[in-house]
C-alpha cells in the first residue's frame, strides 16, 4: 500500500485534494439549507479584491465629475431650462398622485390594510461583479459599516435589482433577480395575477406559476407582490416581452427587467421597512377636498379694521401673487376646484370657470408651492367682476372673478383667515 502511494504520489494527492473539496461542497450544500455562515476564505478574497475595485470606481467617478462638472458644460443652459419645465410638470403630477395616495390611504383605513413604508434606505455604489456569467452577483461598497444585513432588498429608481446575500465589513454581495437561484413574488399590474419571478441560466427573467388560461399581453407591467417578505409591494419589476405555453399548464412569461441589470451603477438598499395599520387620524378625518383646498391660492388676512363692505373688493394683488404657475392657473381656479368646497366655504369668493377646456381637473391642480413663473394680471373691467388673465399653454385665458362677499361672522373675527375661493360648478 505504501509503495502504491509512493509510486502514484501525485495522483494520490490529486485524489486527496479533490475528495477534500467534494466533502467541503457537500457540507456547504447542506449548510445552505440551514443557517449558512460566511466562510473565512470568502472574507479574505473579498477583502483583497474590493478595496481595489472601490479605488478604481472612485477614481473613475472623480475623473467623470471633473470632466462633466467643470470642463464639459456644453448644453447645460438648455438642459437647465428643460429641467425647470420638467419640474413644473412633475409638480403638477405630484399633486395628482398625492391626491390618489390620500384616497388610497382612506380606502386602506376602511379595509384595514397594512401599509409598508420604505422608512430607511442606504445608497450604495456597485463596484464589481462575481466575474462569472453563471453567477449573477454584484458587489456594493457598503457592508456592515452601513448596518446592512443579508436578505435586504436592493432597488434602483427604475425597479428591483436583487437582494443582499452576504455582508462583509465594507462591502456586500448582491444576488441579482436574474440569477437562476433568485426568486421573488410578482404580480401583473393589469390582471393582478400573481406568479413567481425567477432568473434563468442565461440571465433572463421569467414569471412562473401563472396558469395558461390567463390572458396576458406583451407590454403588461409586472410589480412585486410583497408575498416573498423581502421586496416591498408594488415596486416595478419589468414588462412582459413574450408569452408562450409552458409545461404543466403554466405559461412561460418572459420579462424585461425595469432596471438595467447589466449597467448598474448606484443602487439603494432598503434597510428598514415598516408595516403599520394606517391610523384613522392620519387621513380618515380629512377629506380630499380639504387637502386640495390647502393647495389653492389663498386670500391673505384682511386687516381687522377693514369695513364690512371692503370685502367686496376683489383681491387684486393677491390674485396675482397667489396664483400658481401661469400655465395652469386658469385650470386651478375653475376646473380643479373640488365640488365639496362649495359646501364648506360659505364666505368664499365666487369664481366662474373659464371657457377653456380642462381635460382632467385633478391633473392640473397646482401645489401651493408652485412658483409663479409667468405673468398673471388682474383687471377690473368695471362690471363688478375681476378678470384674472393668465397665460395658458395655448393662449391667454381670461377668468372672470366675482367679488368677495364677507359674512358677518368672518368679519367679526379678525383672527379668522379668509376662506378659499370657490369655483362655480359648471
Task: In angstroms, give the least distance from the CB of 264 to other proteins.
Answer: 8
**CA separation for the pair 136, 210 (Å, rounded):** 25
Task: In angstroms, give the least distance from the CB of 172 to other proteins.
Answer: 12
Task: In angstroms, give the least distance from the CB of 53 to other proteins.
Answer: 5
Task: In angstroms, give the least distance from the CB of 46 to other proteins.
Answer: 7
Three-class SS state of 190: coil
Task: In angstroms, give the least distance from the CB of 222 to other proteins.
Answer: 22
The C-alpha cell of 38 is what?
A: 460566511
Q: Give the residue carrying C-alpha cell 388682474.
A: 378
**3-state SS track over 344-406:** HCCCCCEECCCCCCCCCCHHHCCCCCCCCCCCCEEECCCCCCEEEEEECCCCEEEEEECCCCC
Q: Give the residue carrying C-alpha cell 393647495.
A: 295
**CA separation for the pair 305, 191 (Å, rounded):** 62
- The yes or no reply on residue 14 touching other proteins (CB under 8 A) is yes
- The yes or no reply on residue 123 touching other proteins (CB under 8 A) is no
Task: Write the interaction track for other proteins spanning residues 232-251; mark x where CB under 8 A is met and - where it is not.
Answer: --------------------
- The yes or no reply on residue 5 touching other proteins (CB under 8 A) is no
Report 182-211 residues binding other proteins (CB under 8 A). Answer: 201-202
- The yes or no reply on residue 163 touching other proteins (CB under 8 A) is no
Task: Write the interaction track for other proteins spanning residues 32-51; mark x where CB under 8 A is met and - where it is not.
Answer: x------x-xx-xxx-xx--
- The yes or no reply on residue 131 touching other proteins (CB under 8 A) is yes
On the 0-12 / 13-18 / 19+ scale of CB atoms within 10 A, 112 is: exposed
**CA separation for the pair 80, 23 (Å, rounded):** 61
- The yes or no reply on residue 141 touching other proteins (CB under 8 A) is no
The C-alpha cell of 339 is what?
A: 365640488
Task: Classify strands 172-176 and 137-140 as parallel, antiparallel or unpaired.
Answer: antiparallel
Which residue in 1, 2, 4, 10 binds other proteins (CB under 8 A)? 10
Length of the chain: 426
- The yes or no reply on residue 26 touching other proteins (CB under 8 A) is yes
Three-class SS state of 154: strand
Residues at the site binding other proteins, with contacts judged by CB under 8 A: 10, 13-14, 17-18, 21-22, 24-26, 28-29, 32, 39, 41-42, 44-46, 48-49, 52-53, 56, 126-135, 137-139, 165-166, 173, 175, 179-181, 201-202, 262, 264
Amino acid at each position: 500500500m505504501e509503495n502504491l502511494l509512493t509510486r502514484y504520489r501525485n495522483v494520490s494527492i490529486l485524489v486527496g485534494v479533490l475528495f477534500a473539496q467534494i466533502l467541503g461542497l457537500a457540507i456547504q450544500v447542506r449548510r445552505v439549507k440551514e443557517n449558512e455562515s460566511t466562510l473565512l476564505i470568502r472574507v479574505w478574497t473579498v477583502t483583497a479584491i474590493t478595496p481595489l475595485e472601490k479605488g478604481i470606481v472612485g477614481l473613475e467617478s472623480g475623473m467623470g465629475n471633473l470632466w462633466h462638472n467643470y470642463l464639459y458644460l456644453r448644453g447645460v443652459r438648455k438642459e437647465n431650462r428643460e429641467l425647470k419645465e420638467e419640474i413644473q410638470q412633475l409638480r403638477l403630477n405630484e399633486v395628482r398622485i398625492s391626491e390618489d395616495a390620500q384616497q388610497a390611504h382612506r380606502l386602506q383605513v376602511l379595509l384595514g390594510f397594512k401599509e409598508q413604508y420604505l422608512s430607511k434606505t442606504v445608497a450604495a455604489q456597485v463596484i464589481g461583479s462575481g466575474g462569472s456569467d453563471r453567477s449573477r452577483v454584484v458587489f456594493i461598497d457598503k457592508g456592515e459599516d452601513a448596518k446592512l444585513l443579508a436578505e435586504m432588498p436592493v432597488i434602483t429608481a427604475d425597479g428591483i435589482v436583487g437582494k443582499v446575500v452576504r455582508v462583509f465589513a465594507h462591502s456586500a454581495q448582491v444576488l441579482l433577480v436574474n440569477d437562476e437561484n433568485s426568486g421573488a413574488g410578482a404580480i401583473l399590474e393589469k390582471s393582478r395575477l400573481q406568479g413567481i419571478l425567477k432568473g434563468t441560466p442565461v440571465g433572463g427573467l421569467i414569471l412562473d406559476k401563472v396558469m395558461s388560461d390567463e390572458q396576458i399581453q406583451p407590454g403588461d407591467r409586472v410589480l412585486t407582490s410583497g408575498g416573498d417578505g423581502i421586496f416591498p409591494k408594488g415596486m416595478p419589476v419589468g414588462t412582459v416581452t413574450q408569452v408562450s405555453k409552458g409545461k404543466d399548464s403554466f405559461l412561460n412569461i418572459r420579462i424585461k427587467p425595469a432596471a438595467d441589470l447589466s449597467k448598474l451603477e448606484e443602487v439603494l438598499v432598503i434597510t428598514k421597512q415598516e408595516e403599520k395599520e394606517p391610523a384613522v387620524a392620519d387621513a380618515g378625518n380629512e377629506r380630499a377636498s380639504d387637502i386640495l383646498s390647502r393647495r389653492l391660492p389663498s386670500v391673505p388676512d384682511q386687516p381687522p379694521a377693514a369695513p364690512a363692505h371692503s370685502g367686496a373688493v376683489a383681491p387684486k394683488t393677491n390674485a396675482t401673487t397667489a396664483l400658481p404657475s401661469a400655465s395652469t392657473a386658469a385650470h386651478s381656479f375653475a376646473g380643479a376646484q373640488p365640488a365639496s368646497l362649495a359646501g364648506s366655504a360659505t364666505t368664499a369668493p365666487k369664481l366662474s370657470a373659464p371657457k377653456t377646456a380642462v381635460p382632467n381637473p385633478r391633473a392640473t391642480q397646482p401645489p401651493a408651492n408652485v412658483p409663479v413663473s409667468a405673468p398673471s394680471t388682474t383687471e377690473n373691467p368695471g362690471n363688478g367682476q375681476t378678470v384674472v388673465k393668465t397665460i395658458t399653454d395655448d393662449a391667454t385665458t381670461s377668468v372672470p372673478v366675482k367679488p368677495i362677499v364677507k359674512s358677518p361672522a368672518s368679519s367679526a373675527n379678525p383672527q379668522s383667515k379668509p376662506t378659499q375661493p370657490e369655483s362655480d360648478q359648471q
